Structure 1
Amino acid sequence: MDLRFPLACFGLSMALLASSGCSPDDEHQQASLEERSAAFEKSLDTIKDQQLKDAVADLGGSLLLLERARLKLQDKPVETEYGTDDLALLKHYPSSQALSDAYINGLFVMRKNSSSDYLTDLEPVFPFPLNSASEFPFPHALEWQSVTLSNKQVVPFQPEWSETDPGIQLSPSSANLSNPDDLTVTYPYIDGIEVENTQQPQPLMLHGKVEVIAPGKVVTFNLTAKDVGKTRTDGTISATLLTLGKNFAEVDIVNSAPLAEQVRDTPLNPLIIQARDHSGQFLARSGSINENAEQLAFYQEQLAQMLKQTAWTDAFGQQLDNEQKAFDQKHTHHYSKVYFNGTVENIDINVLDFSTANITRKALDLPVRKLDRNVVGKEIQPLPLNVVVYDDQAANYLKGANLEPGQLEKSVVIRQSVDDASAATLEFSHPATFNDEMLGALPDHSDAPVTFFAEDDTGKRSEPLELPTEAFDVDPHAGVITYDLNLFPETPAYAVGSIPLFIADIDKQVLDVAHLPKGLELKGNALVVDQKVFPSEAWRFYAKDDTGNYLKEVVAVSHSAEPNGPTLFDVHYFYGQPTQLESYARTELNPVEYGFEVKLDKAPEASAAQ
């Protein structure tokens, strides 16, 4: 049975599993939640029928999880964090279908270099990250089915590696948690027999299928605080901004047109809600609640019915399904309360209109490409891709090429840690910029003087503390000062000194691809960069096409003449055909002395002693 409760990943808007509703006191709410969670766990233990127990655990656990998320969201401090335009991708393509086609046709598979004789890793490379709705906004699904090996053997995909399976296996990679889409071909280990990886049957073709649902159109409403309580309409779609708080927006959407027949049984979230602050930049989201009070009351009622049963029956399961379908048919509103990291000035409500929809289903037969990040040899492997994908972050990122000392100093953040009295730290950091990327090798020795002071009776600095050299250590490159409070004659209250920062002078040039200088060569969508002329430590290259937009780089490969030898040239592959290049070269490295006076936090023991 599929209950289809759309509750597992968001917060909620009311206290659940208790008829008394929310307490105004947050601490009381949290305590009450913990009590109800414990009571719920006990009630689960009394259910003997496993199928009923699983259904109750799924729904009741989701409701409790959502209340926990709601409390966390409403208590989160308002700290500004900027994100990107979730619909930027769509603006580059003439239709939603064209975006879907780019997603499907831009997918390819690389074989990753492996040091194991019994494992070969495969990396599916997506033009837009698979697991990020903000990067690819349409509902999509991908299913791997098998891999064909060089000996013509077809190995079926299995969801996890089996220790008892004696044959070759294809399963998700368990070694690379940072790239969850990776797959691994696992060869059987035979004790006493050594078989090198190159002697194993090699993966040649990865098979699967993909499905993308493209809405007929996307409707956008731009609203401010003046629009609260008002309903705006565009065609069959009406949007109401219910509330607009400091860091959240609550909206209700109605589409009077029914869903397209082919997607009526597919769970869809048609809303992409974005916010901007006074600067006009998009704020990052911190979470959302997609069920209103009426929906949550319905789920509570279904949970109450479950708790009255002694065993699960097909008839009861069908009853719940029918109630869900009847509720969905009667309640066609789409509600969402979205929290943001920052103070909201404007709201963009983007509605994916699935009253008409294009479903693209395609069988995938993808050749496995051997394209290591480090290649021995001069042969350049072509990587033809018949899609164009733009890098919407590049323009903003490149604005950080040139920095003024004052800009850099104002961005410095100082963090303290005194949890370990023997290794208390002061850490100096600043938001990463393109200029940081271009710094290259920093000087081996940099002056970073620091003096510690106690405080007098008025709380001001007293005389400098006389300290042994081992009492503190300064790592100017990492921007970290570590000090041992056990070696101080008295508790320090202030640290005064300077930490070296660096700014690169960067020279930007625009290059015509028809007249590239010696050391640069364009081969199709691949830019070849001679490392003797343009070493990567000091040079960066970005590509544009005829639209003036930056092309997204697919992968960069370094070629050397021998293993672990110096790099001869780099090859940068792009999604699209470059017609213009931009070069960025570091011409100078300038030190900036960041002077500081920091009031030091006290270690817990020191605080208690006073």
Structure 2
Amino acid sequence: MDLRLPLAGLGLSLALLATGGCSPDEKHPLASLEERTAQFEQNLDTIKDQPLKDAVADLGGSLLLLERARIKLQDKPIETQYTTDDLALLKHYPTTQALTDTYINGLFVLRKPASSDYLTDLEPVFPFPLNSASQFPFPHVLEWQSVTLSNKQVVPFQAEWSETDPGIQLSPSSANLSNPDDLTVTYPYIDGIETENIQQPQPLMLHGKVEVIAPGKVVNFKLSADDVGQTRTEGSISVTLLALGKNFAEVDIRNSAALAEPVRDIELNPLIIQAHDLSGQFLSRAGSINENAEQLAFYQQQLAEMLKQTAWSEAFEQQLDNEQVDFDKKHPNHYSKVYFNGTVEHVDISVLDFSTATVTRKELDLPVHRLDKNVVNKDIQPLPLAVVVYDDQAPAYLKNANLDPEQFKKNVTISQSIDDASAATLEFSHPATFNDELLGVLPDSSDAPVTFFAEDDNGNRSEPLELPAEAFDVDPHTGVITYDLNLFPETPAFAIGSIPMYIANVDQQSLDVAHLPKGLELKGNALIVDQTLFPSDAWRFYAKDKTGNYLKEVLAVSHSREADGPPTFDVHYFYGQPTHLESYARTDLTPVEYGFEVKLDKVPEVNPPH
């Protein structure tokens, strides 16, 4: 949970949470927070003026969420999880402007397969990974304006679909919550007239505009426990490490130079804070709190003023805005307390210096590409891309191509479910790895012995239970044992047995693109893979360019000779020109017998009614 909430989004502060007189820095138990949440909701009900009530609700609700996050983060157990370098994105490009240009010029649009004769979905594809904490770290605005159709009609973008608009519409997609940037072209439905999607005017070009503000430079600091309380300065940037705990870092930064004109009215978070443990690997973030005690005290004061009002007014709103501007001028520092999943050895602090900045604006006219995941023809569509983007997660991912059986067994976890007594389960799982991709179809195996036991008066294992065959089922393919407690003569307390699991044996090879084997062909940024020689269930290919970095794969398209027929070849498109390929092929499967002894959860007893 990463909370970066400006006052406008917070509304009220922790002061609102502390109606009982507690300071924001005190440790509130969750039960107390629930009580104060209920009290806050009651207080809201007493406010009659709706605009004032909305402002209080927005501010108070956000800060209750902030307090809940603070409690959750500070009480979270330390469980080590690693991630990739958020700054790798910046390190690949010589300047911040080069990164900006890559973001803008790497954007393209795909048409998705039509789910309806009256809808056509468009997917803008961005060059940088959405699961990176930094993503694209510069302030940017992307606005869609219109789409040009095959009949030369230009349809303007509208913020939401209108039920009363009789024409063709372009609006954000409401069907795909996982891709919030998707758009939908909606055709009018005419009762009694059947029109297939292919007969509708098709989208050819998506128009919009983009603006990016790139900082003049990025300043980096590497700090450890010895630096706590010290201020380090480089140029106009000063960084103070306020505290370094087992799993958190508390940081304050200040830029003595004034912000560049284009960003003076923009809410900025110029901090990228990363941490390493003793292994030197990057720890993943658990969340952050970006409001310090002074900010909270200020919000408390504004809240108190709000609660004295009987109605919202423009004059009062202006007063709050003026107080905010005055506070920001007197407190130009940026504060952040970041929690990590693991024990922190040292932190890397990177500051985006916006005392100088470059504004890039561009009109976008993006052709709509039709590249379905499955295509019935042999024509390869080109997807020329003028930018290079690297896959920084590939090296760590590919390290798990081959797994050690004993280490594999140590990573297996067993989870139980007794929600349904007739279908209680034991599930055996392990962290997903690259090796899993190459397992293919697992062999059938009926050798998965399991014995259930009751317990004696001392809580120890007693005699094995005699069970009918239908009392339990073992599915080695999914790693799930399902058992029906209604068919047991007495409640089982232990399960002992073994379940077969598999590891792929993977052969890795380096391939020179100038001498590729039969069945592999490189056309520009597209790798064509013959599926009869290199079937996708057993082969994977990764590409590098001359820098030695892995190129990011844009997408893959599978071509077949006929509908529902087997694929004849796959085409993999990359952001950049491959100069070197790596192949990973499954050569065999290694069975791993995972033996277990599990203390079973018990179904809670339901007290009979009196």
TM-score category, normalised to shorter length: over 0.9
Distance verdict in 2 for CA 1:8–1:467, change over 3 Å: farther
Q: TM-score, normalised by structure 1?
A: 0.95
Q: Is the Cα–Cα contact under 8 Å of residues 551 and 576 in structure 1 kept in the other structure?
A: yes
Q: Is the Cα–Cα contact under 8 Å of residues 10 and 287 in structure 1 kept in the other structure?
A: no
Write the deviation string for residues 140-160 of structure 1: whole angstroms up to 9, x where unpaired: 221111111111111111222
Write the deviation string for residues 499-522 of structure 1: whole angstroms up to 9, x where unpaired: 111111111111111111111110
SS in 2 for 1:401: coil
Distance verdict in 2 for CA 1:19–1:26, change over 3 Å: closer
Distance 2:531 2:375 in 1: 14
Distance verdict in 2 for CA 1:177–1:278, change over 3 Å: same
Distance verdict in 2 for CA 1:16–1:149, change over 3 Å: farther
The letter of the residue matching 1:555 is: L
User: Residue 398 of structure 2 corresponds to which residue in structure 1?
Assistant: 398
Distance 1:360 1:501 in 2: 53
Q: Is the Cα–Cα contact under 8 Å of residues 11 and 69 in structure 1 kept in the other structure?
A: no
Structure 1 segment 404-419 matched on structure 2, within 5 A? 404-419=404-419
User: Residue 494 of structure 2 corresponds to which residue in structure 1?
Assistant: 494
Q: Is the Cα–Cα contact under 8 Å of residues 557 and 571 in structure 2 kept in the other structure?
A: yes
Distance 2:539 2:556 in 1: 14
Distance 2:430 2:576 in 1: 34
Distance 1:7 1:246 in 2: 31
Q: Is the Cα–Cα contact under 8 Å of residues 12 and 56 in structure 2 kept in the other structure?
A: no
Q: Is the Cα–Cα contact under 8 Å of residues 140 and 212 in structure 2 kept in the other structure?
A: yes
Q: Is the Cα–Cα contact under 8 Å of residues 403 and 435 in structure 2 kept in the other structure?
A: yes
Write the deviation string for residues 400-436 of structure 1: whole angstroms up to 9, x where unpaired: 1111211211111111122322222111001111111
User: Residue 269 of structure 1 corresponds to which residue in structure 2?
Assistant: 269
Once structures 1 and 2 are overlaid, which stretch shifts more, 496-505 or 598-607? 598-607
User: Residue 556 of structure 2 corresponds to which residue in structure 1?
Assistant: 556
C-alpha displacement at 1:39, in angstroms? 3.1
Q: Is the Cα–Cα contact under 8 Å of residues 11 and 67 in structure 1 kept in the other structure?
A: no
Distance verdict in 2 for CA 1:582–1:11, change over 3 Å: farther
User: Residue 247 of structure 1 corresponds to which residue in structure 2?
Assistant: 247
Distance verdict in 2 for CA 1:93–1:197, change over 3 Å: same
Distance 1:9 1:414 in 2: 44
Distance 2:289 2:80 in 1: 20
Q: Which blocks of at least 5 consecutive residues in structure 1 are unaligned?
A: none
Q: Is the Cα–Cα contact under 8 Å of residues 120 and 184 in structure 1 kept in the other structure?
A: yes
Question: Percent identity among equivalent residues?
Answer: 79
C-alpha displacement at 1:312, in angstroms? 2.5
Distance verdict in 2 for CA 1:430–1:512, change over 3 Å: same
User: Residue 81 of structure 1 corresponds to which residue in structure 2?
Assistant: 81
Distance 2:307 2:13 in 1: 23
The letter of the residue matching 1:402 is: N
Distance 2:496 2:112 in 1: 49
Write the deviation string for residues 168-226 of structure 1: whole angstroms up to 9, x where unpaired: 11111122222222111111111111001111011011111112221111112111222
User: Residue 168 of structure 1 corresponds to which residue in structure 2?
Assistant: 168
Distance verdict in 2 for CA 1:23–1:176, change over 3 Å: closer
| Paired residue total | 604
Q: Is the Cα–Cα contact under 8 Å of residues 491 and 606 in structure 1 kept in the other structure?
A: no
C-alpha displacement at 1:550, in angstroms? 0.5
Q: Is the Cα–Cα contact under 8 Å of residues 242 and 250 in structure 1 kept in the other structure?
A: yes
Structure 1 segment 518-557 matched on structure 2, within 5 A? 518-557=518-557
Structure 1 segment 179-328 matched on structure 2, within 5 A? 179-328=179-328
User: Residue 448 of structure 2 corresponds to which residue in structure 1?
Assistant: 448
- Root-mean-square deviation (CA, aligned residues, Å) is 2.2
Q: Is the Cα–Cα contact under 8 Å of residues 243 and 250 in structure 2 kept in the other structure?
A: yes
Distance verdict in 2 for CA 1:84–1:260, change over 3 Å: same
The letter of the residue matching 1:144 is: W
The letter of the residue matching 1:394 is: A
Distance verdict in 2 for CA 1:8–1:373, change over 3 Å: farther
User: Residue 439 of structure 1 corresponds to which residue in structure 2?
Assistant: 439
Distance verdict in 2 for CA 1:14–1:79, change over 3 Å: farther
User: Residue 5 of structure 1 corresponds to which residue in structure 2?
Assistant: 7
User: Residue 54 of structure 1 corresponds to which residue in structure 2?
Assistant: 54
Q: TM-score, normalised by structure 2?
A: 0.95
C-alpha displacement at 1:101, in angstroms? 0.8
SS in 2 for 1:90: helix
Q: Is the Cα–Cα contact under 8 Å of residues 14 and 64 in structure 2 kept in the other structure?
A: no
Q: Is the Cα–Cα contact under 8 Å of residues 388 and 576 in structure 1 kept in the other structure?
A: yes
C-alpha displacement at 1:52, in angstroms? 2.5
The letter of the residue matching 1:367 is: P
C-alpha displacement at 1:53, in angstroms? 2.5
User: Residue 23 of structure 2 corresponds to which residue in structure 1?
Assistant: 21
User: Residue 605 of structure 1 corresponds to which residue in structure 2?
Assistant: 605
